Amino acid sequence: MKQLLLVILGGGIGSGLRYLIGQYLNPVFSNFYLGTFLVNILGCLLIGLLLGAALRSGVSNPTQSALLVTGFCGGFTTFSTFGLEQFLLLRQGSFLPFLTYSLGSLAVGIAAVALGFWLTRFF
> pLDDT digits over 41-77, tens only?
999 999 999 999 998 898 889 999 999 999 999 999 9
**Contact assessment for residue 7 and residue 66, using Cβ atoms and an 8 Å cutoff:** yes
Domain extent at residue 67: 2-25+34-122
Indicate the pTM of the whole model. Answer: 0.83
Res 59: pLDDT: 87
- Report how many domains make up the chain: 1
DSSP states of 91-122: HHT-HHHHHHHHHHHHHHHHHHHHHHHHHGGG
Res 38: pLDDT: 95
**Contact assessment for residue 76 and residue 43, using Cβ atoms and an 8 Å cutoff:** yes
What percent of the chain clears pLDDT 90, i.e. is strictly above it? Answer: 87
